[in-house]
Amino acid sequence: SGISTDIWTSYAARIMVISVIPFVIVQLPQMLNSTSGRHLAVLIGLVISVCLLISYCLYQIFQPWIQKRKLEYIKHKHVILGLLRHLKMRSLGKLLKDNGEPDTDVIRKLFATIDENKDGHLTHGEMTALVVGIQFEEIDLDHDDAVTRIMADFDTSRNQLI
């Protein structure tokens, strides 16, 4: 299946690549075995680093999408962690064996308790009931959005069933 990314990930990757430019400038005299240009290269690298830092700060102020994206990512990871913690408490044993492998018997029992209609699949409604039942008080959580993200993570066939 491979890795899929959105356009914002490629923008963030470009910003990271641009941030490497000062390091390349500082290393350039060493690659060329030049001793006279080292101090100048460090000075130029410093000036470019400061300029890039200021421009990145201004970019964050006028385009706060990176901060919003980080907050969404943290909120999503918090939901997944809470979901796993809740599932572990409801399970009849540990989710992982001592050697680190998943305990399939415990996971099947846990799946059966969540699968309300016993059809062998978890629907959007069953996942919503699970997320609402967990009661995430410490974050302002949109339950539908959280369930949609969880379904996107685990629904590999994209048929709205896990």
pLDDT tens readout for residues 22-59 = 988 888 888 888 777 888 888 898 999 999 999 888 88
* 101 and 44, same domain (yes or no): no
Amino acid at 109: K
Same domain membership, residue 148 and residue 76: yes
Residue 36 lies in a domain: yes
Q: Are residues 43 and 113 in the same domain?
A: no
Q: Are residues 110 and 145 both part of a single domain? A: yes
Final residue before a domain boundary, out of 48, 63, 78: 63
Q: Domain tally for the chain? A: 2
Whole-angstrom distance, CA of residue 93 vs CA of residue 87: 10
Q: 113-160: per-residue pLDDT in tens?
A: 777 778 888 777 777 777 666 665 555 666 677 777 777 777 777 777
Q: Could you read off the pLDDT of 87-108 as tens digits, one per residue? A: 666 655 566 677 878 777 877 7
Query: Does 43 share its domain with 101?
Result: no
Distance, CA of 52 to CA of 66 (rounded, Å): 16
Q: How confident is the model at residue 6 (pLDDT cuts 50, 70, 90)?
A: confident
- Domain edge (last residue) among 47, 63, 79: 63
Of 20, 44, 63, at which residue does a domain stop? 63
State whether 81 and 147 are in the same domain. yes
The per-residue DSSP string of 12-53 comes to HHHHHHHTTHHHHHHHHHHHTT-STTHHHHHHHHHHHHHHHH
Whether 162 is in a domain gets the answer no
Is 159 a member of any domain? no
Question: In terms of residue numbers, what domain contains 112?
Answer: 66-154
Q: How far apart are CA 111 and CA 109, in angstroms?
A: 5
For residues 20 and 93, state if they share a domain.
no
Residue 92 sits in the same domain as residue 112:
yes
